[in-house]
């Protein structure tokens, strides 16, 4: 029944049911309850899926892709070993080569996103990711495995770059950071759901189960590509790119330095995923089960708080302050993790681990908010793809080199290595404060056009 809005006139108690007179409309108690349920659902829906169509489409595609990626990351190692008959060394070689490919492709795909259309590039590369899943089903040797992993890495990294370019070109400048935070939070949730589904393949541990997981993951990505197609190809009023200015980002020294410093700070990614479990196993009294718990703390923290923390970053000054604060938190997390080795009891080691994980996740969220803001803010109009492509090499570099560097520094050297890393994080944060706090860059910040009148989506996220 349609709930007609009007002035409440009176409550009337009748038998056998309560009747509410609302202007000229009479509602029974079931009608009132139904209206309340609809109201609650509307609030829930607005928080889960924003009213803005562009953000809603990006959210749906991002969540689908994250679920499929969770399927891959949770079951790929055993699938490659069991189904393809590859030795661990061969799997490591293929993944290393694909990591190098993933490092090289974001910039060229970002340039294509600017010239052709970020939406088109994202859609086609998402199709490529889906087909790569199915290509894995045909792998029967090392050469085929390297080809499949390289295709997967190139398409996945390229699609991520194109998605960031879409945020930069289709979302109003004042809401890009908040939109990025929202999608990042959804991505963490999607990865968790995908990993949970992928665990079913591990439970059955059969060739058919692994093949089904990859087949389903590929299909999900193909559907996500169709979702991207519902977005506009380009934002109205987008400035055209001048011919002959390709790779301008490499001549933008401040942006190059920003990406380099960002790479250093992003070492917190392999720190949590790769190095910390080894540190816990080899140097502390904490039980091994605490490692996945710490990862869960990180995932849940990002899902619940990333959007809220990103709201506090609205200016370049906010972004610089957020990044520097993040590096201080990450430094404190390093000291907490180092102290685990000196703890005399198991539970003290566990408490230090959880405390360090909380500092780590807050540092991660504050850093991401500031980094998103600066990466979008300092990119010229019409070149978001190129600049985001270059900036995204930061995460690829940290994820590729970080495990070796951090293992050598922290696991092999021990507490002195943790102290060094605790100094490196704030040093990088202070460098960003110093470099982008000067008047020249404040003026560059002011040169960003008012895109609120350009026909772009507002990108405002509730919640």
pLDDT in tens, 308-347: 999 999 999 999 999 999 999 999 999 999 999 999 899 9
pLDDT at 233: 79
- Bridge partners of 252, per DSSP, are none
Q: Pick from 177, 200, 228: which residue ends a domain?
A: 228
pLDDT digits (tens, 9 = 90+) for 81-127: 887 788 889 999 999 999 999 999 999 999 999 999 999 999 999 99
Structural domain containing residue 260: 248-450
Yes or no: say if 428 and 371 are a contact pair by the CB < 8 Å rule: no
Same domain, 162 and 79: yes
pTM: 0.84
Q: Indicate whether 369 belongs to any domain.
A: yes
pLDDT digits (tens, 9 = 90+) for 52-69: 889 999 999 999 999 999
Same domain, 36 and 68: no
Residue 353: partners with Cβ closer than 8 Å, 6 or more residues away: 280, 284, 286, 290, 294, 336, 337, 340
Same domain, 304 and 416: yes
Cα–Cα distance, 16 to 30 (Å, whole number): 13
Phi and psi (nearest 5°) for 17?
Answer: -130, 160
User: 358 in helix, strand or coil?
Assistant: helix
Q: Pick from 198, 228, 258: which residue ends a domain?
A: 228
Same domain, 313 and 396: yes
Same domain, 270 and 418: yes
Q: Indicate whether 380 belongs to any domain.
A: yes
Q: Indicate whether 460 belongs to any domain.
A: no
Same domain, 298 and 200: no
Structure tokens that stand for 166 in this block: 């879409």
**Residue 406 belongs to domain with CATH number:** 1.20.1250.20
Q: Compute the CA torsion angle 294, 299, 304, 310 (nearest 10 deg).
A: 110
Yes or no: say if 23 and 6 are a contact pair by the CB < 8 Å rule: yes
Q: Indicate whether 305 belongs to any domain.
A: yes
Same domain, 216 and 79: yes
Cα–Cα distance, 434 to 445 (Å, whole number): 15
Q: If you average pLDDT over every residue of the chain, what do you get?
A: 86
Q: Indicate whether 383 belongs to any domain.
A: yes
DSSP state of 447: T
Same domain, 155 and 83: yes
Sign of CA dihedral 435, 440, 444, 445: positive
Q: Indicate whether 132 belongs to any domain.
A: yes
Q: Pick from 178, 194, 228: which residue ends a domain?
A: 228
Q: Indicate whether 301 belongs to any domain.
A: yes
Domain count, the chain: 3
Q: Which of 23-27, 58-62, 225-229, 287-291 comes out lowest in average pLDDT?
A: 23-27
Q: Is 199 exposed, middle or buried (0-12, 13-18, 19+ CB in 10 A)?
A: middle
Q: What is the mean pLDDT of residues 285-293?
A: 93
Strand order, beta sheet including 25-28: 8-13, 18-22, 25-28
Same domain, 297 and 394: yes
User: 247 in helix, strand or coil?
Assistant: coil
Sign of CA dihedral 360, 365, 366, 372: positive
Same domain, 323 and 443: yes
Same domain, 273 and 359: yes
Cα–Cα distance, 211 to 350 (Å, whole number): 38
Write down the residue that tokens 């201080």 correspond to: 328
Q: Indicate whether 288 belongs to any domain.
A: yes
Same domain, 425 and 409: yes
């Amino acid at each position: 029944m349609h709930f007609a809005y009007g002035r409440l006139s009176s409550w009337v108690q009748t038998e056998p049911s309560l009747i509410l007179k609302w202007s000229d409309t009479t509602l029974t108690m079931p009608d009132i309850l139904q209206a309340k349920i609809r109201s609650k659902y509307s609030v829930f829906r607005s928080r889960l899926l924003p009213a803005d169509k562009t953000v809603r489409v990006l959210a749906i595609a991002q969540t689908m892709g994250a679920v499929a990626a969770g399927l891959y990351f949770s079951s790929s190692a055993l699938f490659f070993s069991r189904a393809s008959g590859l030795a661990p060394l061969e799997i490591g070689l293929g993944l290393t080569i694909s990591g190098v490919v993933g490092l090289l492709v974001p910039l060229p795909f970002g340039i294509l996103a600017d010239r052709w259309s970020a939406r088109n590039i994202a859609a086609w590369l998402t199709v490529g990711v889906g087909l790569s899943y199915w290509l894995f089903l045909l792998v029967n040797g090392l050469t085929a495995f390297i080809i499949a992993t390289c295709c997967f890495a190139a398409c996945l990294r390229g699609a991520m770059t194109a998605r960031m370019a879409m945020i930069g070109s289709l979302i109003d400048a004042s809401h890009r950071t908040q939109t990025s935070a929202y999608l990042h939070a959804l991505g963490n949730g999607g990865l968790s759901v995908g990993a949970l589904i992928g665990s079913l393949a591990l439970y059955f541990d059969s060739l058919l189960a692994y093949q089904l997981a990859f087949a389903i993951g590929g299909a999900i990505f193909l559907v996500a590509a169709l979702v991207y197609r519902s977005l506009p190809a380009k934002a109205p009023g987008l400035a055209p790119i001048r011919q002959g200015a390709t790779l301008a980002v490499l001549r933008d020294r401040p942006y190059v330095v920003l990406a380099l410093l960002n790479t250093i700070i992003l070492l917190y990614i392999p720190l949590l995923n790769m190095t910390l479990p080894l540190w816990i196993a080899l140097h502390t009294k904490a039980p091994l089960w605490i490692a996945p718990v710490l990862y869960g703390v990180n995932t849940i923290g990002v899902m619940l708080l990333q959007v809220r923390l990103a709201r506090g970053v609205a200016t370049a000054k906010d972004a610089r302050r957020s990044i520097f604060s993040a590096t201080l938190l990450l430094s404190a997390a390093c000291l907490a993790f180092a102290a685990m080795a000196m703890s005399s009891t198991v539970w003290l080691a566990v408490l230090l681990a959880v405390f360090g994980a909380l500092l780590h996740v807050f540092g991660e969220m504050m850093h991401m908010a500031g980094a998103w803001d600066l990466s979008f803010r300092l990119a010229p109009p019409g070149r978001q793809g190129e600049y985001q492509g270059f900036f995204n090499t930061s995460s690829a570099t940290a994820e590729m080199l970080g495990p070796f560097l951090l293992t050598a520094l922290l696991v092999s050297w021990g507490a002195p290595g943790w102290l060094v890393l605790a100094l490196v994080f704030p040093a990088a944060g202070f460098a960003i404060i110093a470099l982008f706090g000067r008047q020249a860059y404040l003026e560059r910040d002011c040169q960003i056009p008012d895109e609120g009148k350009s026909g772009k989506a507002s990108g405002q996220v509730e919640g």
